[in-house]
Amino acid sequence: MPRIVRFHKIGGPEVLQLEELALETPGPGEVRLKVEAFGLNRAEVLFRQGFYLERPKTPSRIGYEAAGVVDAVGPDVSGVKVGDRVGTIPGFSMRKYGVYGESAIVPANIVAPYPANLSPVEGAAIWMQYMTAYGALVELGRLAKGDFVLITAASSSVGLAAIQITKWLGATAIATTRGAAKQQALLQAGADHVIVTDTEDLPRRVKEITDGRGARLIFDPVAGPFIEKLAKAAAFGGIIFEYGSLALAPTPFPFAEALGKGLSVRGYTLFEISGHSEKLARGKQFVYDGLKVGALKPVIAKTFKLEEVIEAHRYMESNEQVGKIVVTV
């Protein structure tokens, strides 16, 4: 019987339980993975807390992103076979599926091989971060050489992915962090500039860096009142992509800046890409190409064992990490 992570009520990390459950059989259009590693994402913390886009049905599994080996294939599945070494692309509801544990059943259309030179730990740190950043910056934002890109909460795995993509395509990456502790790490990760928002005036610094133009693309998971500063830092015709709400506060619409600059404020999730076959195919190829040439390389903050999943979630909530937190199975 595989060990599976579930929770029976919403709450803090301590609600996560490691339980032995019967091995399930994949249904039509599904595959089963023998999980080797799974990555942690902020979405899962919010889901556990009851603050995510969808509310859990308890007892609930959890988890979007795993790397493992296919050990069973359900009916009506093509292109995936037993023995394939794959990762999961977030493109399903955690009310139905979850990948934390030794075994996981997921839709066959959201599994994808990862390069043979990567470990399972790295394989569990690819799809959420790179596809999220790709979708906003490249697919929708049309990121181009010479652009200025403002990346907030930049020490997250998605933030680091955005830095790598921005640099690969010849644009300037402006990263933000609340305190100075992560400033050097972000510079080492490739950011051209790092703004410490607790001590620096964000709009003024962006204007200085961009010679007064502002950032054309802003990639932000914070939202809340912070959006007012982002709007001031934006260029004429700029786009603010809001892909999260770490502030857990109402987000005002920056009417004056939007009107004066022709500014777009756009909600965005990875599901816009993973739920659309053509966009998904383009995104996968983009990520494969970046991994092949070394422009994209997952940054692993820390690994934990399966028995330490509660500690892993506590570490994520501490916000001390730079990069991806991964649990090995």
**C-alpha to C-alpha distance for 80 and 71, rounded to whole angstroms:** 10
State which residues of the chain have pLDDT below 70.
none
Domains of the chain plus CATH, in order, are: 3-126+298-328 (3.90.180.10), 132-269 (3.40.50.720)
One-letter identity of residue 26: P
Q: What is the pLDDT of residue 289?
A: 98
Cα 181 from Cα 194, distance rounded (Å): 11
CA gap 249, 298 in Å, rounded: 30
Q: What is the pLDDT of the chain when averaged over all its residues?
A: 97
213, 217, 221, 224 alpha-carbon torsion, rounded to 10°:
50
Q: What percent of the chain has pLDDT over 70?
A: 100
276 token code pair: 């659309």
Q: Cis peptide before 59, with omega less than 30 degrees from 0?
A: yes
The angle subtended at Cα 33 by Cα 118 and Cα 75, nearest 5°, is 130
pLDDT of residue 108: 97
Angle at which helix 277-293 crosses helix 127-134, to 10 degrees, equals 110
What is the SS3 assignment for 48? Answer: helix
pLDDT digits (tens, 9 = 90+) for 260-314: 999 999 999 999 999 999 999 999 999 999 999 999 999 999 999 999 999 999 9
Instruction: Concatenate the DSSP letters of all residues of 197-254 into one string.
Output: TTTS-HHHHHHHHTTT--EEEEEES--GGGHHHHHHHEEEEEEEEE---TT-S-----
pLDDT the model gives residue 219: 98
CA distances from 185 to 179, 191, 299 (A): 12, 9, 11
Interatomic CA distance for residues 321 and 42, integer angstroms: 12
